[in-house]
């Protein structure tokens, strides 16, 4: 039986084993997918020991950059994201990929039916999550990508890194004065229930406001977007879609995701 795992710290909350079990059941694939807690600074020994027998691993907070260094070969998405969330043993080597960005794109484009093509996109935040989604969004040909971050220099650095791939610019929160078609909250503000310094000018009735975080209740960002007349959704579908892409990398088949998202939503 092939062995898979998700490596992180903390890891108890992870829904990945549940998601991969649901995917595997769709194809009668027999696999073992476990949660693996790695101590701080101990990602590499944990991964070495896992890959003595393991076929693939997902990697989550705080080890995505360690996984980038651990991989012997990288996909373009992983290289530009500066982070790896999917490791695979292929032949004698360990390949590193990043499926977070394609997960976000599929959730917004396919599940919520908001294509990025010819749309204005605002990404709030300039940490690892923001960096990981820029290239997959750029491939969808939006009109423009704007990045706003509390620490403006980090947004400016992302613009410099990605300006060959998209029409991309950085604005401060104070400079945000017009509506965007798609607004993605890639900050960790929702984790602590903090409010972002945004006003209703950035939202319109056509705006999709997407919080990468997910919870049983609307986040402060989603509450603001709804109050300003936009459609507000969370990132549960992104979690499932990034897992689906990892599953495809490991098993060569793309699972159906909607029923899996619906089941997780019922149990949030």
Binding site for ligand NDP (CB under 6 A): 100, 125-130, 149-151, 154, 186-191, 194, 196, 212-214, 235, 238-239, 242
Distance CA(199)–CA(194), nearest Å, equals 15
Q: Which is nearer to ligand NDP, 9 or 188 (CB)?
A: 188
Min dist. Cβ of residue 134 to ligand NDP (A): 12
Residue 2 tokens read as 């092939």
Angle at 227 between CA 266 and CA 108, to 5 degrees: 50
Q: Got the DSSP string for 190-226?
A: GGGTPPPS--GGG--TTPEEEESS--SS--HHHHHHH
The residue among 5 and 236 lying less far from ligand NDP, judged by its C-beta, is 236
Type and span of the H or E element at 182:
strand 182-185
How far apart (Å, rounded) are the C-alpha atoms in residues 194 and 55?
39
What 3-state class would DSSP assign to 54?
coil
User: Residue for token digits 């995505």?
Assistant: 64
Q: Smaller CB distance to ligand NDP: residue 1 or 12?
A: 12
Residue 103: CB minimum distance to ligand NDP, A = 6
Nearer to ligand NDP, 14 or 88 (CB): 14
Catalytic residue among 64, 95, 119, 245: 64
Catalytic residue check, 15: no
**DSSP-derived secondary structure for 19-50:** HHHHHHHHTT--EEEEEEE--TT-HHHHHHHH
Shortest Cβ 234–ligand NDP spacing (Å): 8
Contact (CB, 8 A) for 202 and 184: no
Nearer to ligand NDP, 116 or 214 (CB): 214
**Least distance from ligand NDP to the Cβ atom of residue 220, Å:** 10
Length of the chain: 268
User: Closest residue to ligand NDP, Cβ-based?
Assistant: 127
- 112 closest CA partner among 246, 222, 207: 207
Nearer to ligand NDP, 51 or 148 (CB): 148
CA-based radius of gyration for the chain: 18
- In contact, 225 and 183? CB cutoff 8 Å: yes
Q: Catalytic amino acids?
A: 64
């Amino acid at each position: 039986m092939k062995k898979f795992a998700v490596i992180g710290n903390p890891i108890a909350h992870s829904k990945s084993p549940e998601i991969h079990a649901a995917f595997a059941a769709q194809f009668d694939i027999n696999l073992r997918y476990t949660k693996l807690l790695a101590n701080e600074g101990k990602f590499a020994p944990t991964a070495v020991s896992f890959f003595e027998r393991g076929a693939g691993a997902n990697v989550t907070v705080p080890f995505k950059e360690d996984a980038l260094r651990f991989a012997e070969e990288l996909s373009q998405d992983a290289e530009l994201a500066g982070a790896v969330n999917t490791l695979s043993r292929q032949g004698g080597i360990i390949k590193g990929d990043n499926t977070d960005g394609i997960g976000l794109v599929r959730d917004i484009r396919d599940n919520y039916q908001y294509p990025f093509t010819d749309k204005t996109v605002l990404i709030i935040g300039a940490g690892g999550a923001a960096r990981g989604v820029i290239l997959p969004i750029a491939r969808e040909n939006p009109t423009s990508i704007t990045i706003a971050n509390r620490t403006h220099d980090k947004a400016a650095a992302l613009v410099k890194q990605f300006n060959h791939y998209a029409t991309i610019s950085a604005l401060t929160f104070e400079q945000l004065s017009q509506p965007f078609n798609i607004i993605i909250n890639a900050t960790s503000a929702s984790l602590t229930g903090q409010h972002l310094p945004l006003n209703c000018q950035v939202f319109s009735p056509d705006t999709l406001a997407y919080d990468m975080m997910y919870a049983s209740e609307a986040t402060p960002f989603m509450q603001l977007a709804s109050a300003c007349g936009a459609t507000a959704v969370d990132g549960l579908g992104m979690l499932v879609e990034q897992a689906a892409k990892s599953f495809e990398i490991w098993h060569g088949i793309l699972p159906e995701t909607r029923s899996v998202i619906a089941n997780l939503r019922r149990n949030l």
